[in-house]
Amino acid sequence: MADDSGLSVDALGGAPGVHSAYYGGREGDREEGTGGTTASCLANLSDSRSAHYVCVMVLVKNAEDRNPLVAEGLWHGEIARAPRGANGFGYDPCSWSGSSARRPRSSIPFTKNRISHRGIALQKLVALLNESRRR
């Protein structure tokens, strides 16, 4: 099983996308977002703030598997005007504006894992796996 995730910001033409981890450069701590990722994202935005997190998960059952299971999860929202919150990592400080329950940094891990792009992708992957077992 493998997965990858990224932040897609409409006003940035889908960037940072697959390069989310190093959008602000390769210096600093990726886990805490101090590599400039959050600051670079905020600095490059204008009034348009719509964005979404994307996660794709792939499961290959064995080396001969010619039909891998592929699931995608999307978590739509908007980029906040300034970083906030005390938990999370990466872009969590600058996303999402709106309800605090829907913000990555303010969500408790159980809730975040259930409603996030990764949680959605995993739920879809489990459904695909269950479906493939019934065939």
Q: Give the pLDDT confidence of 82-103 residue by residue, as tens digits.
A: 766 655 556 666 666 554 445 5
Query: Under CATH, which number does the domain 2-134 receive?
Result: 3.90.950.10
- CB count in 10 Å sphere of residue 117: 22
User: For the residues 54-80, what does the mean pLDDT come to?
Assistant: 92
Please tell me which residue in 4, 10, 29, 65 is annotated as part of the active site.
4
| Claim: this prediction has a pTM higher than 0.85 | no
pLDDT in tens, 14-48: 888 877 777 766 665 545 444 456 666 667 777 88
Q: Decide if 10 is catalytic.
A: no
Angstrom distance (rounded) from CA 38 to CA 32 = 10
Question: Peptide bond preceding 93: is omega within 30 degrees of 0, i.e. cis?
Answer: no
Residue 134 has pLDDT above 70, yes or no: yes
* Domain coordinates in residue numbering, the chain: 2-134
Residues 6+ apart with CB under 8 A from 126: none
